[in-house]
């Protein structure tokens, strides 16, 4: 047995409600019978989707962490939504109606922009100028929170840009806009309820007013910290829940896993300190530190869910057990953008 406890990253008045809501619906979310956004809208009505828009991001990071200790799918949906809010804030643009409360959902389709910036991928949505705006064609390989009426932020390559003009823009559109065609992906290991899918864009019109910025490098620099800090928070929360479960079974096999548990726990404590420090002053975050945090938090979640399986034993192998759910959720982290390969490439080239 261990004295490990699930301590909050930051305490806030609604914390118990956050935990209770996520726990109550975790199994139904996992079976795609309940939408994570039903929980998020409840939290949004209390201002819990817009914490840290100025100053410390730690309260928002703490909400993501707490959600993930009970349901990583809901925490993942929070991350994608909160990132969309951060995109508007980075450009000093007003939030679309309903985004602050979750009545309107937010989708980040920015993976291609980050990959293009790093040289590990390309933007696959092309734009040409037409009267009053842009016409878009192309594909987005993966995005989530794809609910009708939701706001989508994405990068485009402008094929007919004039000489000397930027050729990459960031634009916004809506999930149900004409020409925005979603093929929802189901049968996933986890996250089936997150409304994730592949998108084919055909002759989609984006008015001039929905071109958010033509300074893509500057935009990516501003959004990196909130994007990765909230993402790291749900990796860490998932790992914390697994360690909490494993801690109750360390007497298995005469305590053979105690030393390994202690090593993983020490890494968890280090990452708690790291994310807390970085989230307090997100505007000052060093790029390499936040990239490393995200990679390490994902590795922590993987290691923690593995030792949970090993210590809890056969009952953790049942598909409807919380242990099995956490194990499946952790397997998403190496492929979530930025993927493990992308992060490792970035870190190998970071100064």
> What is the DSSP secondary structure assignment for residue 53, as one 8-state letter?
S
pLDDT (tens digit, 9 = 90+) per residue, 46-81?
999 999 999 999 999 999 999 999 999 999 999 999
Model pLDDT, residue 166? 82
Take residue 207 and report the two structure tokens written for it.
């008015």
pLDDT (tens digit, 9 = 90+) per residue, 237-295?
999 999 999 999 999 999 999 999 999 999 999 999 999 999 999 999 999 999 999 99
Model pLDDT, residue 295? 98
Q: What are phi and psi of 48, to 5 degrees?
A: -90, 5
Distance of CA 267 to the CA centre of its chain: 21
Q: Are strands 133-143 and 197-207 parallel, antiparallel or unpaired?
A: antiparallel
The chain-wide mean pLDDT, for the chain, equals 96
Domains belonging to the chain, first-starting first, are: 15-90 (no CATH), 106-216 (2.40.110.10), 221-349 (1.20.140.10)
Take residue 250 and report the two structure tokens written for it.
């360390």
For residue 125, pLDDT beyond 90 = yes
Helices (H), the chain: 15-30, 36-44, 58-70, 72-90, 111-118, 216-247, 258-280, 287-312, 322-330, 340-349
Model pLDDT, residue 163? 79
Segment 308-315 mean pLDDT: 95
For residue 2, pLDDT beyond 80 = no
> pLDDT band at 116, cuts 50/70/90?
very high
CB distance 74 to 81 below 8 Å: no
For residue 1, pLDDT beyond 70 = no
CB-based burial label for 17 (10 Å; 0-12, 13-18, 19+): middle
- How far is Cα 120 from Cα 206, in angstroms, rounded to an integer? 27
Model pLDDT, residue 164? 84
Model pLDDT, residue 5? 86
For residue 14, pLDDT beyond 90 = yes
Residue 177, H or E segment: none
Closest CA to 153 of 215, 211, 74, 92: 211
Model pLDDT, residue 351? 61
> pLDDT band at 111, cuts 50/70/90?
very high
For residue 178, pLDDT beyond 90 = yes
pLDDT (tens digit, 9 = 90+) per residue, 17-52?
999 999 999 999 999 999 999 999 999 999 999 999
Model pLDDT, residue 162? 85
């Amino acid at each position: 047995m261990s004295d490990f406890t699930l301590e909050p990253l930051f305490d806030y008045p609604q914390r118990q409600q956050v935990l209770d809501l996520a726990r109550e619906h975790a199994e139904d979310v996992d079976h795609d019978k309940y939408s994570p956004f039903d929980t998020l809208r409840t939290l949004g009505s209390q201002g819990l989707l817009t914490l840290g828009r100025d100053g410390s991001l730690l309260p928002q990071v703490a909400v993501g962490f707490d959600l993930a200790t009970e349901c990583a799918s809901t925490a993942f949906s929070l991350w994608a939504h909160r990132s969309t809010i951060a995109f508007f804030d980075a450009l000093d643009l007003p939030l679309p109606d309903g985004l602050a409360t979750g009545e309107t959902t937010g989708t980040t389709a920015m993976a291609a922009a980050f990959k293009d910036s790093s040289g590990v991928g390309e933007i696959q949505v092309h734009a040409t100028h037409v009267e009053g705006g842009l016409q878009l064609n192309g594909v987005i390989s993966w995005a989530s929170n794809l609910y009708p009426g939701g706001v989508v932020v994405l990068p485009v390559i402008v094929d007919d840009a004039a000489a000397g003009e930027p050729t990459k823009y960031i634009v916004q559109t809506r999930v149900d806009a004409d020409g925005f065609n979603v093929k929802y992906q189901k049968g996933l290991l986890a996250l089936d309820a997150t409304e994730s899918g592949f998108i084919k864009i055909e002759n989609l019109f984006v008015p001039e007013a929905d071109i958010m910025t033509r300074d893509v490098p500057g935009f990516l620099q501003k959004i990196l910290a909130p994007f990765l800090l909230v993402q790291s928070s749900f990796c860490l929360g998932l790992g914390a829940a697994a360690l909490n479960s494993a801690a109750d079974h360390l007497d298995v096999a005469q305590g053979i896993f105690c030393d390994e548990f202690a090593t993983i726990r020490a890494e968890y404590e280090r990452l708690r300190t790291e994310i807390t420090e970085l989230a307090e002053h997100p505007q000052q975050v060093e790029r390499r530190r936040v990239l490393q945090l995200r990679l390490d938090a994902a590795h922590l979640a993987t290691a923690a869910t593995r030792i949970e399986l090993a210590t809890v034993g056969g009952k953790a192998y049942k598909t409807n057990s919380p242990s099995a759910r956490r194990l499946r959720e952790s397997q998403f982290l190496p492929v979530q953008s930025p993927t493990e390969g992308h992060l490792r490439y970035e870190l190998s080239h970071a100064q």
